[in-house]
């Protein structure tokens, strides 16, 4: 089974929390000073700016007259490793219907950086022996050193998801700044986003939908064994398809699939 074959890379992900819930309304207070974006909790009034505390991470948000500040303090080793591999996509929108239209993944995730070479990424998804190649394993290890230097942009379109990549410093042209804390075992991530309709996220008004997602790659699982194949012949393709979907769902949960949403109300 492919899950067993890549276990050395994913063993720390096995207990990752998988959550998908409806949005939570949070009153977000204003701060009287600009926060230095360095990934550090210093400068934050954590008690006033808490959004939610979970087993996977604690989330904080505050704002001033110009920017919305987001802080993610990762608490789970499994969640930390899932983010390192599959990235953490942060969504923001003033429009509920388009809340998942645009996101920024920081860190980008070593699996996602393979997307910059479509042929390599396609092999990674579909070749069950891909990770058995020492060169491919070395490639993933080298990409893991770049996950905080490269930003992945995620955009939803009618045709599906589109992915692009930028160097971290390129985001600052739009006033966006991201950083991580370097001195801790588990990562803490900080982001500053302009609150105006001309920014990348096109934020305006006092209500902002904020989402966090870990979206593991949809790796092709091993073909069913003869017993399952016989069941498909006996009970039809629909049952077999359901079994395949269930296996994919369980596999993605093991990889750390995660999604959480909040509705922020900015107070002045």
Element (H, E) at 252: helix 237-254
Among the ranges given (33-37, 80-84, 230-234), the one the predictor scored with the smallest mean pLDDT: 230-234
3-class state of residue 262 by DSSP: strand
Q: Which residue has the tokens 């979907």?
A: 245
Q: Is residue 227 scored above 60 in pLDDT?
A: no
The sheet that has 57-63: what strands, in order across it? Answer: 50-53, 57-63, 67-74, 188-194, 177-180
Residue-by-residue DSSP string for 133-161: SHHHHHHHHHHHTTTTTEEEEEEEETTEE
Instruction: Give the pLDDT band (50/70/90) at residue 128.
Output: confident
Model confidence, pTM: 0.83
> How many CA atoms lie less than 13 Å away from 142 in the CB half-sphere?
7
Q: If you average pLDDT over each of 107-111, 205-209, 228-232, which comes out highest?
A: 107-111
Structurally, how many domains does the chain consist of? Answer: 1
Asked whether the bond before 249 is cis by omega within 30 degrees of 0, the reply is no
Angle between helices 237-254 and 226-235 (to 10 degrees): 140
pLDDT for residue 82: 96
Which stretches does DSSP call E strand in 2-120? 24-28, 50-53, 57-63, 67-74, 89-93, 102-105
Domain that holds residue 46: 2-266
Mean pLDDT, rounded, for 73-87: 96
- Looking at the DSSP assignment, which residues form a beta bridge with residue 57? 74
Q: Is residue 200 scored above 80 in pLDDT?
A: yes
Mean pLDDT, rounded, for 226-236: 50
């Amino acid at each position: 089974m492919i899950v067993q074959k890549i276990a050395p890379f994913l063993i720390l992900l096995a207990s990752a929390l998988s959550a998908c819930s409806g949005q939570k309304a949070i009153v977000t207070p204003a701060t009287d000073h600009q926060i230095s974006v360095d990934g550090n909790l210093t400068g934050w009034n954590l008690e006033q700016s808490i959004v939610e505390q979970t087993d996977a991470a604690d989330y904080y948000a505050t704002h001033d007259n110009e920017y919305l500040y987001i802080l993610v303090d990762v608490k789970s080793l499994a969640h930390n490793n899932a983010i390192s591999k599959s990235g953490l996509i942060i969504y923001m929108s003033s429009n509920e219907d388009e809340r998942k239209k645009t996101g920024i993944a920081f860190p980008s995730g070593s699996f996602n950086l393979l997307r910059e070479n479509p042929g390599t990424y396609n092999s990674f998804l579909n070749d069950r022996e891909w990770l058995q190649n020492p060169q491919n394993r070395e490639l993933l290890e080298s990409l893991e050193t770049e996950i905080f230097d490269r930003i992945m942009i995620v955009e939803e379109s009618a045709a599906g998801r589109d992915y692009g990549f930028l160097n971290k410093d390129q985001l600052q042209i739009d006033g966006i700044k991201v950083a991580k804390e370097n001195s801790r075992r588990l990562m803490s991530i900080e982001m500053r986003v302009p609150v105006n309709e001309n920014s990348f996220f096109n934020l305006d008004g006092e209500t902002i939908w904020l989402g966090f997602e870990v979206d593991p790659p949809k790796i092709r699982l091993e073909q069913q064994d003869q017993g399952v194949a016989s069941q498909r012949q006996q009970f039809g393709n629909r049952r077999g398809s359901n079994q395949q979907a269930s296996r994919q769902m369980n596999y993605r949960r093991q990889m750390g699939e995660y999604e959480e949403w909040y509705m922020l109300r900015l107070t002045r």
